[in-house]
A = this chain, B = another copy of it.
Amino acid sequence: MSIERHDTRLDRFVDNYAERTNGMRVSAVRALFAVANRPEIVSLAGGMPNIEDLGLQAIADNVSRLIRDHGAKVMQYGSGQGEPEIRERICEVMALESILAHPDDICVTAGSQQGLDLVTRVFCDPGDVILAESPSYVGALGTFLSYQCEVVHVPSDEHGISPAALRETIARLQADGKRIKFLYTIPNFSNPSGLTQPMQRRREVIDACNDGGVMVVEDNPYGLLTLETLPQPAMRAIDPEVIYLGSFSKIFAPGFRVGWVLAPHGVREKLTLAQESATLCPPVFSQFAIADYLEHYDWQKQIVAFRDMYRGRRDAMLEELADAMPDGVSWTQPKGGFFVWLTMPEGLDSQAMLPRGVNARVAYVPGAAFYADGQGAANMRLSYCFPTAERIREGVRRLAGMIRSELEVHEIFGTDFRHPQGSHVPGPSPDLS
């Protein structure tokens, strides 16, 4: 037996896991992504921001001074709620989207993903329902499922969630005795659809939720990365009881892992207790480094520079899609953020096609990843955030060629190419963020 006891490759703990753990699976998509990281492949899959143009020397000098002059404080344990210095700065950031907030109503998190985790932890028992856009962020779906929640997608149109469908869904689920905990929505440049709710739509969605007694959780990592207009007021600016998730990952840098939740006071208190149980305190040094960046660096000018850079990349993607894609393929026209949502003719399956995509040296995220219920086979998420405009154009051309030959095969043989096992939601992963 000593071989078995010392070979850590055999999982003798397999019967010991919690029920929630049985739902955790390494997705086939992720295995392919490992391959997709090869340099010859154009990845339109990742959601990594391009931070090459940050002023590294200035940031380095500031962080160096911070450690030299305040090291014993900024490298020490901190507050479970997050440091007051950064919570005050976060209010200034949110003011750009018309949010009036008090620093005491903010709970700092280890990235916005942890905000999702803590909100779900505080509110959701197994079997509770969470409403989500259709499609919705893969990382949120993974977290909701890890808390054994049921995700119900609300049909959406080109302006995001349909208020009529939302009211109908709430009424139907409540009539069935379901306990709906909240609506999860990304109103600006949604991940993955790229779509944005206009102001009127935001009000209608909030009203529908308030009438049904359903909380709204607004996730807004991309709001300031608007490419055409000024930022719109957040849903939280319309209704102060909306729970709001923010992040520095896209307007500064993700590696510090600092996000936040703005919530009504009682909820914020619970979130802080949950944060203490989860990590004692969110990354302290990171918080001071970002507060320092916001104080000593022209961060708003940096956001304008990010906008210009992403606008060029988005335009490259949209132009090349228009030039290269065969008839029958359609896609969204994002006005900000990182993503285009592409729809192929019925019968094609983006997940089954992924290996052939990698063969054609292009990667994307199959649409099924963004649904908890098996939809999305004909969709894919394309991101324009990380590769250069030239690489994006090359990637789109490769993708178009691949779709074209799939369509030919499909036309000749009429086969249903869908993945035989159906689709499933992979866990969230930095590659998919």
Of all chain B residues, the one with the shortest Cβ separation from A109 is B279
- Closest residue of B by beta carbon distance from A114: B279
In the complex, are the beta carbons of A121 and B20 less than 8 A apart?
Answer: yes
Contact A75 to B256, CB < 8 A, known contacts A60-B65, A63-B67, A123-B18: yes
Q: How far is the CA of A11 from the CA of B123 in the complex (A)?
A: 13
Q: Are B77 and A56 in contact (CB under 8 A)?
A: no
B18 and A122 contacting across the interface, CB-CB below 8 Å: yes
Is A433 engaged at the interface, CB distance under 8 Å to the other chain? yes
Contact between B283 and A257, CB atoms less than 8 A apart: yes
Contacts of A314 in B (CB 8 A): none
The answer to whether A26 touches B269, judged by C-beta atoms less than 8 angstroms apart, is yes
| C-alpha spacing A59/B21, complex, angstroms | 40
Q: Which residues of B contact A57 (CB under 8 A)?
A: 68
Interface segment among A90-98, A139-147, A350-358: the answer is A139-147
CB of A413, distance to nearest CB on chain B (Å): 38
Beta-carbon contacts under 8 Å, A197-244 to B: 215, 239-241
Flag if B427 contacts A276 (CB, 8 Å).
Answer: yes
Q: Mark A11-30, 1 if CB is under 8 A from B, else 0.
A: 11110111111001110000
Chain B residues, CB < 8 A from A24: 270, 273-274, 277
Q: Which residues of B contact A44 (CB under 8 A)?
A: none
Let me know if B267 and A11 touch, CB within 8 A.
yes
- Which residues of A does B touch, CB under 8 Å? 5-6, 8-14, 16-21, 24-26, 48-49, 51-52, 54, 56-57, 59-61, 63-68, 71-72, 74-80, 105, 110-111, 113-114, 117, 121-125, 128, 139, 142-143, 146, 181, 215, 239-241, 249, 253-257, 264-267, 269-270, 273-274, 276-286, 288-289, 427-430, 433
Can you identify 24 A-B contacts, CB atoms within 8 angstroms?
A5-B241, A8-B264, A8-B266, A18-B124, A18-B128, A19-B125, A24-B274, A25-B273, A54-B72, A56-B72, A57-B68, A59-B67, A63-B63, A63-B64, A74-B255, A77-B255, A111-B279, A111-B281, A113-B277, A142-B276, A280-B428, A280-B429, A280-B433, A285-B286
